[in-house]
Structure 1
């Protein structure tokens, strides 16, 4: 938990993917997030959080559905979305809500 808090404090935007092993749409996000990382490189950090193993964190950020994506920058929550979201849409959201690009 402490490490998570340190990571989201940084100036580099962090996209947190709250997901679960049993979730089909969560599995669909893996190649999309890889594509996003290829697109943005070091301008974004991506973390995958298993809600079953990190229930306290999921509760703190009111994750009710998986996948839920949350963008943090400088310790602040900048955006939240849920469901499968394409890489180009995520890149656009990151550009609009953070100082990443």
Structure 2
């Protein structure tokens, strides 16, 4: 499975909101320690469940408009979008088992 694709303000709508399957967006930044902790967990989940749920990441420092429009105030924030709508939001780093449980409806 390929690495998790980066998404930008410019392609967020086409990549995420218009996707034909649910998309998890990892809002992160280089300086965020908990973001670095959750990244390998998301890569594992992507490898295991990438056919059901698309995983992408967005650097909030380089792309401020989208996080602001979805009221992302703390990172890491994991948003799940389905059918163009925000359907789930998980804030903060969590262990793999906890993330898998929270995402069970989409995996």
Bucket of the pairwise TM-score, normalised by the shorter protein: 0.7 to 0.9
Answering whether residue 41 of structure 2 is matched by residue 32 of structure 1, we say yes
What is the root-mean-square deviation of aligned Cα atoms in Å?
1.5
By how many angstroms is 1:93 displaced? 2.6
Equivalents in 2 of 1:19, 1:55: separation in Å? Answer: 11
For the residue of structure 1 that corresponds to 2:31, the secondary structure is coil
The DSSP-based 3-state class of the residue aligned with 1:43 is: coil
Q: Which moved more, 1:36-45 or 1:69-78?
A: 36-45
What is the SS of the residue equivalent to 1:64? coil
Structure in which a larger fraction of residues adopt helix: 1
Corresponding residue of 1:61: 70
The runs of at least 4 aligned residues of structure 1 exceeding 6 Å deviation read none
Give unmatched runs, 5+ long, in structure 1. Answer: none
**2:80 corresponding residue in structure 1:** 71
The 3-state SS of whatever aligns with 1:54 is coil
Please identify, of 15-24 and 80-89, the stretch whose mean Cα deviation from structure 2 is larger: 80-89
Q: 1:3 aligns with which of 3, 7, 11?
A: 11
Q: How many angstroms apart in 1 are the aligned matches of 2:10 and 2:64?
A: 15
- Residues paired across the two proteins, number: 98
Report deviation, 1:2. Answer: 4.4
Normalising by structure 2, we get a TM-score of: 0.81
Normalised TM-score (structure 1): 0.85
